[in-house]
């Protein structure tokens, strides 16, 4: 298993999960192609995170062709609390949410197809 983490990404976890769900279970090269055409703002940081995980795997001697995105976990990071002025001198709270993303790569297991048994019924 090869991991990479992204802390305090200034995008809400709900928006990051949309992009992370696209690449779960896909091959690394397929995931990079998919992220390059995704129009979401979170696609660029996740692309960089995936490239970092690939570099970690290469440093440990894994082949890039055999890597699969096994898990992408998006957690809530610290929330920045700001306020917006409103009518009659009051203040309205604004929560600027952040995300923590943990991406895990694994080596793909070769598929073993079950042999179909030819059982004749009488």
Does any domain span residue 24? yes
* 71, β-bridge pairs: 104
Is 114 within a domain? no
CATH of the domain at 45: 3.90.470.10
- Residue 23 placed within a domain: yes
Query: Nearest to residue 13, comparing CAs of 58, 77, 103, 81?
Result: 77
Q: How many domains does the chain have?
A: 1
pLDDT at 118 over 70: no
- Inform me whether the pLDDT recorded for 39 exceeds 90: yes
Average pLDDT score over the chain: 92
CA distance 22 to 40: 11
Angle at which helix 13-23 crosses helix 28-36, to 10 degrees, equals 130
- The per-residue DSSP string of 33-44 comes to HHHHT--STTHH
User: Model-level pTM?
Assistant: 0.84
Range of the domain at 78: 2-107
Residue 113 pLDDT > 70, yes or no?
no
The token duo for 81 is 């609390």
pLDDT at 110: 74
């Amino acid at each position: 298993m090869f991991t990479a983490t992204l802390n305090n990404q200034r995008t809400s976890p709900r928006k990051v999960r949309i992009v992370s769900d696209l690449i779960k279970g896909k091959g690394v090269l397929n995931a990079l192609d998919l992220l390059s055409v995704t129009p979401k703002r979170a696609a660029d940081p996740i692309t960089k995170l995936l490239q970092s995980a690939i570099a970690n795997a290469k440093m440990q001697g894994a082949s890039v062709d055999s890597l699969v995105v096994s898990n992408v976990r998006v957690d809530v990071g610290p929330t920045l609390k700001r306020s917006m002025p409103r009518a009659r001198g009051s203040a309205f709270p604004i929560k600027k949410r952040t995300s923590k993303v943990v991406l895990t790569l694994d080596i793909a297991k070769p598929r073993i197809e079950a042999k179909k048994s030819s059982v004749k019924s009488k």
